[in-house]
Amino acid sequence: MTNHQTGRRRFLAGLGAAGTAALLSGCVTSTSSGKSSSKGAVTLQSNVSAPQAKAAMQDLVAAYGKKGSARASLNTVAAETFRTQLPTYLTSANPPDVYTWYPGSVADAYAKKDLLLDLGEVWSSSPDLKSYSKALNSLCTATSGKKVFVPATYYWWGMFYRKSNFAKWGVSEPKSWDDFLDLCDKLKSKGVDPIGLGAGGNTAWVASAWFDYLDIRINGAEYHRELLAGKHRFDDPEVRKVFDRWQEVLPYFDPNGDAVPFQDATTALLNGRTGMMLIGTFFADAAPKDALDDIDFFRFPVIDPKIPLAEEAPVDGYFASARTGRRDQVVDLMSYLATAESQEIYIKGSSGTVLPCNPKAKDAGTALVKKGRAHVEEAAEITQFFNRDSSDALQPTADTALTRFLAKPKEIGSILTGWQRDAEKIWNA
């Protein structure tokens, strides 16, 4: 038995020694990695994970490396993972330097927590950013007055349809709300579900586009932004008016609208099972290549001509972590991302349905994109989208409320009360 004891003790002692050595070596590596962060390539954390768009980002980073001033290393993370992990990235001790994300209130929320790098130097030194529109300028400014964002591209929302299908049904684009209702009637009489939605599956947020548009058409963009910021209530009569309008068109919605995700709704639209769909241009990625030339869109019909014309045109771009150890390199990369050259490289490599923020940059040049550019430029006010104008936390409250509304439109009173209650929890958090 004594034999056992010594054997075991010796073994445990050995284990302990090995463990201590491992811990010590761990400490050594930790200090060295902490210091090396100020040199080397700028890390660009990207949520652009779709294969084609990811390749476009790789082209962009390669082109930046060739310029010779510095290097960037691209790190692509699945969009969903990125969304949930972004707060963790920003608060970590050794964060990535530059991130793809949204300007406006989303970036402002992080800026308020002092997590974003002040990019005032980029905005004051870059000749490109000086030529950016005023709207973009204010969109990238935090409440503190600091510039925290560099915009790169934007896309637009509209009523998309298939040209050949509209020709087959003998209908044309409506201008006013009454025209729009007529169009829906005509399509319905031909056995087509006039309006596709695609708010099922994990894309319930698509329904928020209808809320956004009806609100900016009826109450205006200013009211809409204030509502999302918590300065009005969701159970106010103004919001009730939005849903009264919605109920006028609700019978024309595809009955499967809240059951299928938007990608399946796109297929239904292309096959002519539904007539049109309020969606962003990203949906074109879900269309087969031969259908792309057949896609067209019209403006969400104007309801009250006295309200300044507003459109949804969400901007994508970049911000940087306040804790970066490579400030100078970040400034250099940001200036490059604002150039026409960089935005053209991305648009060329991706599916080309986005528009560049740089006024001198060329777009993809297709008829659809040209029409889209004019469409956005005619608008007096630009909104981003429900989650981008509020926060990712408020979006689920909208999803719940709108899904309930689509299923039981008669209960709108209690739905709005519930929405206000849920939203208050988030505004007050």
Name the site residues for other proteins (rule: CB under 8 A): 3-4, 7-8, 11, 26-27, 29-34, 45, 47-51, 53-55, 75-81, 85, 88-89, 92-94, 96, 262-264, 266-268, 270-271, 280, 282-283, 285-291
Q: Tell me the closest approach of the beta carbon of residue 52 to other proteins, in angstroms.
A: 9
Given the complex with other proteins, which of 208 and 219 has the nearer CB atom?
208
Label the pairing between strands 295-298 and 157-162: antiparallel
The residue among 81 and 124 lying less far from other proteins, judged by its C-beta, is: 81
What are the residues facing 161 on neighbouring strands? 276, 296
> In the bound complex, what is the minimum distance in angstroms from residue 269's beta carbon to other proteins?
11
Task: Considering the complex, state which of residue 91 and residue 189 has its C-beta at the smaller distance from other proteins.
Answer: 91
CB of 7 to other proteins, least distance (A): 5
Nearer to other proteins, 37 or 137 (CB): 37
Is residue 100 a contact partner of residue 153, using CB atoms and an 8 Å limit? no
Neighbour order of strands in the sheet with 150-154:
72-76, 42-46, 98-101, 315-320, 150-154, 355-356
Burial of 36 (0-12, 13-18, 19+ CB in 10 A): exposed
- The burial of 272, by beta-carbon neighbours within 10 Å (0-12 exposed, 13-18 middle, 19 or more buried), is given as middle
Task: Report whether 119 contacts 317 (CB < 8 A).
Answer: no
Handedness of CA 388, 390, 395, 401 (dihedral sign): negative
**Shortest CB 141 distance to other proteins, Å:** 25
C-beta closer to other proteins: residue 134 or 289: 289
> Between residues 149 and 155, which has the closer beta carbon with respect to other proteins?
155
Relative orientation angle of helices 208-218 and 221-228, to the nearest 10 degrees: 130
Q: Tell me how far, at minimum, the Cβ of 290 lies from other proteins, in Å.
A: 7
Shortest CB 120 distance to other proteins, Å: 28
CB 133 within 8 Å of CB 360: no
Query: What DSSP state is assigned to residue 259?
Result: T
How far apart CA 364 and CA 379 sit, in angstroms, is 21
Pick the closer one to other proteins by CB: 26 or 365: 26
Pick 27 or 374: Cβ nearer other proteins: 27
- Residue 295 CB contacts under 8 Å (≥ 6 apart), including other chains: 160, 161, 162, 163, 284, 287, 368
The DSSP letter of residue 236 is S
CB of 236 to other proteins, least distance (A): 32
Shortest Cβ 35–other proteins spacing (Å): 11
Angle at 210 between CA 205 and CA 212, to 5 degrees: 85
Name the minimum Å distance from CB 260 to other proteins. 9
CA distance 122 to 128: 10
Query: Considering beta carbons, is residue 74 or 227 the nearer one to other proteins?
Result: 74
**Could you give the CA distance from residue 53 to residue 229 in angstroms, rounded to a whole number?**
32
- 17 or 55: CB nearest other proteins: 55
Query: From the CB of 78, what's the least distance to other proteins, in Å?
Result: 4
- The 8-class DSSP code of residue 143 comes to T
